[in-house]
A and B are shown apart, each in its own frame.
Chain A
Amino acid sequence: MTDLNHIRNFSIVAHIDHGKSTLADRLIQSTGTVQDRDMKAQMLDSMDIERERGITIKANTVRIDYVALDGRKYVLNLIDTPGHVDFAYEVSRSMRAVEGSLLVVDSTQGVEAQTLANVYHALDADHEIVPIFNKIDLPASDVSRVAEQVEDVIGIDTSCAIAVSAKTGEGIRETLEAIVHHLPAPKGDRDAPLKAMLVDSWYDSYLGVIVLVRIIDGVLKKGDRVRFMSNNTVHSVDRIGVFRPQMEMAADLGPGEIGFLTASIKQVRDTRVGDTVTHEKRSCDKALPGFKPAQPVVFCGLFPVDSAEFEDLRDAIDKLALNDASFSFEMETSAALGFGFRCGFLGLLHLEVIRDRIEREYDIDLITTAPSVIYHVHMRDGTMQLLHNPADMPDMTHVEHIEEPRIKATILVPDEYLGDVLKLCQDRRGIQLDLTYAGSRAMVVYDLPLNEVVFDFYDRLKSVTKGYASFDYQLTGYREDQLVKMSVLVNDEPVDALSMMVHRDRAELRGRAMVEKLKDLIPRHMFKIPIQAAIGGKVIARETLSAMRKDVTAKCYGGDATRKRKLLDKQKAGKKKMRQFGSVNIPQEAFISALKMDS
Chain B
Amino acid sequence: MPEAFGLYIHWPFCQAKCPYCDFNSHVTRNIDQKRWLAAYVAEISRVGAQTTGRTLNSVFFGGGTPSLMEPETVDGVMTAVRATWPTANSIEVTLEANPTSVEAGRFQGYRQAGVNRVSMGIQALHDDDLRALGRLHSVVEGLAAFETARGIFNRVSFDLIYARQGQTLADWRTELRRALDLGLDHLSLYQLTIEEGTAFGDRYALGKLRGLPDEDLSADMYEATQEICGAAGLMAYEVSNHAKNGNESQHNLIYWRYQDYAGIGPGAHGRLTLDGQKFATETVLSPGGWLNAVENIGTGESLRALLSDEDQFAERLLMGLRLSEGVDLAGSDSAQNPTFVNNINGLSDLGLVGYENQTLLATHKGRPVLNGILRSLLGG
Residues of A within 8 A of B (CB): 524-527, 547-559, 561-562, 564-565, 568, 571-572, 575, 583
Instruction: Digitize B282-322: 1 where CB-to-A-CB distance is under 8 Å, 0 elsewhere.
Output: 10000000000000000000000000000100110011001
B367 CB within 8 Å of chain A: yes
Contact assessment for B372 and A526 in the assembled complex, using a CB-CB cutoff below 8 Å: yes
Contact assessment for A556 and B239 in the assembled complex, using a CB-CB cutoff below 8 Å: yes
Q: How many angstroms between the C-alpha atoms of A549 and B252 in the bound complex?
A: 26
Q: List 6 A-B contacts (CB under 8 A).
A: A551-B215, A556-B239, A556-B319, A559-B267, A564-B315, A565-B311
Contact assessment for A568 and B318 in the assembled complex, using a CB-CB cutoff below 8 Å: yes
Q: How many angstroms between the C-alpha atoms of A265 and B318 in the bound complex?
A: 66
Contact of B369 among A552, A556, A558 (CB under 8 A): A552
In chain B, residues 305-358, which have Cβ atoms closer than 8 Å to a Cβ of chain A? 311, 314-315, 318-319, 322, 346-347, 350, 352
Contact assessment for B318 and A565 in the assembled complex, using a CB-CB cutoff below 8 Å: yes
In chain B, residues 201-257, which have Cβ atoms closer than 8 Å to a Cβ of chain A? 215-216, 218-219, 222, 239-240, 252, 254-255
B374 CB within 8 Å of chain A: yes
Q: Is the interface of A mostly helix, strand, loop or mixed?
A: loop
> Number of B residues contacting the other chain (C-beta, 8 Å)?
48
A568: shortest Cβ distance to chain B, in Å?
Answer: 5
A556: shortest Cβ distance to chain B, in Å?
Answer: 6
| In the complex, residue of chain A having the shortest beta-carbon distance to the beta carbon of B314 | A565
Contact assessment for B269 and A553 in the assembled complex, using a CB-CB cutoff below 8 Å: no
Point out the residues of chain A lying under 8 angstroms from B346, CB to CB: 583
Q: How many angstroms between the C-alpha atoms of A38 and B191 in the bound complex?
A: 69
Q: How many angstroms between the C-alpha atoms of A564 and B263 in the bound complex?
A: 18
Assuming A526-B372, A557-B252, A558-B255, is B191 touching A549 (CB within 8 A)? no
Q: How many angstroms between the C-alpha atoms of A150 and B264 in the bound complex?
A: 88
Q: How many angstroms between the C-alpha atoms of A525 and B201 in the bound complex?
A: 25
Residues of B within 8 A of A (CB): 8, 62, 190-193, 215-216, 218-219, 222, 239-240, 252, 254-255, 261, 263, 267-271, 280, 282, 311, 314-315, 318-319, 322, 346-347, 350, 352, 367-376, 378-380
Contact assessment for A550 and B218 in the assembled complex, using a CB-CB cutoff below 8 Å: yes
B122: shortest Cβ distance to chain A, in Å?
Answer: 16
Contact of B380 among A555, A562, A572, A583 (CB under 8 A): A572
Assuming A526-B347, A550-B222, A550-B368, is B190 touching A555 (CB within 8 A)? yes
Q: Is the interface of B mostly helix, strand, loop or mixed?
A: helix
Contact assessment for B368 and A552 in the assembled complex, using a CB-CB cutoff below 8 Å: yes
Q: How many angstroms between the C-alpha atoms of A85 and B218 in the bound complex?
A: 55
A540: shortest Cβ distance to chain B, in Å?
Answer: 28
The 5 closest A-B pairs by CB, nearest first: A549-B219, A572-B380, A550-B219, A552-B370, A559-B269
Point out the residues of chain B lying under 8 angstroms from A555, CB to CB: 190, 193, 240
Known contacts A568-B318, A568-B378; 13 further A-B pairs (Cβ under 8 A) = A526-B372, A526-B373, A526-B376, A549-B369, A551-B372, A552-B367, A553-B370, A556-B239, A556-B322, A558-B270, A561-B318, A562-B315, A568-B379
Point out the residues of chain B lying under 8 angstroms from A583, CB to CB: 346
Point out the residues of chain A lying under 8 angstroms from B369, CB to CB: 526, 547-552
B364: shortest Cβ distance to chain A, in Å?
Answer: 12
Q: How many angstroms between the C-alpha atoms of A554 and B240 in the bound complex?
A: 6
| In the complex, residue of chain A having the shortest beta-carbon distance to the beta carbon of B262 | A558
| In the complex, residue of chain B having the shortest beta-carbon distance to the beta carbon of A572 | B380
Contact assessment for B269 and A552 in the assembled complex, using a CB-CB cutoff below 8 Å: no
Q: How many angstroms between the C-alpha atoms of A568 and B255 in the bound complex?
A: 18
Point out the residues of chain A lying under 8 angstroms from B375, CB to CB: 568, 571
Point out the residues of chain B lying under 8 angstroms from A553, CB to CB: 193, 239, 370-371
Point out the residues of chain A lying under 8 angstroms from B215, CB to CB: 524, 548-551
Point out the residues of chain A lying under 8 angstroms from B191, CB to CB: 554
Contact assessment for A558 and B269 in the assembled complex, using a CB-CB cutoff below 8 Å: yes
B372: shortest Cβ distance to chain A, in Å?
Answer: 5
Point out the residues of chain A lying under 8 angstroms from B280, CB to CB: 561-562
Assuming A557-B252, A558-B255, is B380 touching A549 (CB within 8 A)? no
B187: shortest Cβ distance to chain A, in Å?
Answer: 14
Contact assessment for A558 and B368 in the assembled complex, using a CB-CB cutoff below 8 Å: no
B78: shortest Cβ distance to chain A, in Å?
Answer: 19
Q: How many angstroms between the C-alpha atoms of A550 and B212 in the bound complex?
A: 14
B288: shortest Cβ distance to chain A, in Å?
Answer: 19
Point out the residues of chain A lying under 8 angstroms from B252, CB to CB: 557
B340: shortest Cβ distance to chain A, in Å?
Answer: 14
Contact of A551 among B62, B267, B370 (CB under 8 A): B370
Point out the residues of chain A lying under 8 angstroms from B62, CB to CB: 557
Assuming A556-B318, A558-B8, A558-B261, is B190 touching A527 (CB within 8 A)? no
**Of B280, B282, B315, most A-chain CB atoms within 10 Å:** B315
B186: shortest Cβ distance to chain A, in Å?
Answer: 15
| In the complex, residue of chain B having the shortest beta-carbon distance to the beta carbon of A552 | B370
A155: shortest Cβ distance to chain B, in Å?
Answer: 58
Contact assessment for B263 and A549 in the assembled complex, using a CB-CB cutoff below 8 Å: no
Contact assessment for A554 and B193 in the assembled complex, using a CB-CB cutoff below 8 Å: yes
Contact assessment for A561 and B239 in the assembled complex, using a CB-CB cutoff below 8 Å: no
Point out the residues of chain B lying under 8 angstroms from A571, CB to CB: 375, 379
A185: shortest Cβ distance to chain B, in Å?
Answer: 70
**Of A525, A548, A554, A583, most B-chain CB atoms within 10 Å:** A554
Point out the residues of chain A lying under 8 angstroms from B376, CB to CB: 526
Contact assessment for A575 and B380 in the assembled complex, using a CB-CB cutoff below 8 Å: yes
A206: shortest Cβ distance to chain B, in Å?
Answer: 50
| In the complex, residue of chain B having the shortest beta-carbon distance to the beta carbon of A523 | B372
Q: How many angstroms between the C-alpha atoms of A572 and B267 in the bound complex?
A: 27
Contact of B271 among A524, A549, A561 (CB under 8 A): A561
Q: How many angstroms between the C-alpha atoms of A550 and B218 in the bound complex?
A: 7
Contact assessment for A559 and B239 in the assembled complex, using a CB-CB cutoff below 8 Å: no
**Of B62, B215, B371, most A-chain CB atoms within 10 Å:** B371
Q: How many angstroms between the C-alpha atoms of A562 and B347 in the bound complex?
A: 25
Q: How many angstroms between the C-alpha atoms of A548 and B350 in the bound complex?
A: 12
| In the complex, residue of chain A having the shortest beta-carbon distance to the beta carbon of B322 | A556
Q: How many angstroms between the C-alpha atoms of A556 and B372 in the bound complex?
A: 15
| In the complex, residue of chain B having the shortest beta-carbon distance to the beta carbon of A525 | B372
Point out the residues of chain B lying under 8 angstroms from A556, CB to CB: 239, 255, 318-319, 322
Contact assessment for A548 and B372 in the assembled complex, using a CB-CB cutoff below 8 Å: yes
Contact assessment for B368 and A549 in the assembled complex, using a CB-CB cutoff below 8 Å: yes
Point out the residues of chain B lying under 8 angstroms from A558, CB to CB: 8, 254-255, 261, 263, 269-271
| In the complex, residue of chain A having the shortest beta-carbon distance to the beta carbon of B303 | A562
